[in-house]
Amino acid sequence: MSYVDIDTISLLEIPKISDPDGRGNLSVIEKNVLPFIIKRVYYLYDVPSDSSRGGHAHKELKQFIIALSGSFDVVLDNGRTRRTFTLNRPNKGLLIPSGVWRELENFSAGAVCLSLVSEHYNEDDYIRDYDDFVSSK
């Protein structure tokens, strides 16, 4: 698996359309926003604040994560460097390339985490042991 420079990962702006009459905002994700075709969508909710999710890397799958409601932290690790991103706006998302370890933590009450991913579920794509992940670099 190739090395991913964590410093090249950043939050992406999702186009936001504000209603001129103050009726709220609308955000749209179309094929020009993400560098992959969405093959699966899932969301996490009711995650206790002292729990974490993730704790794995993917060999091929790319993932775009959005905090639809509330906030949470995404800790990314390339085997050498760790970097934490706080997601707390529904018009910003985090694009995680393959080959990056991810952990989600510090969920606020009512947080909803939406994941748009590039592949269908495939257990063989997961690296679930951190030592195996580091040794694959």
- Which of 53, 56, 59, 83 is catalytic? The answer is 56
Distances (CA, A) of 84 to 1, 36, 75: 22, 23, 4
Phi, psi (5° rounding) for residue 104? -110, 130
- Judge contact between 85 and 74, C-beta under 8 A: yes
Active site annotation includes 120: no
- What is the Cα–Cα distance from 129 to 110, expressed in whole angstroms? 29
- Judge contact between 59 and 119, C-beta under 8 A: no
- CA angle 26/115/100 to nearest 5° reads 130
Residues recognised as catalytic:
56
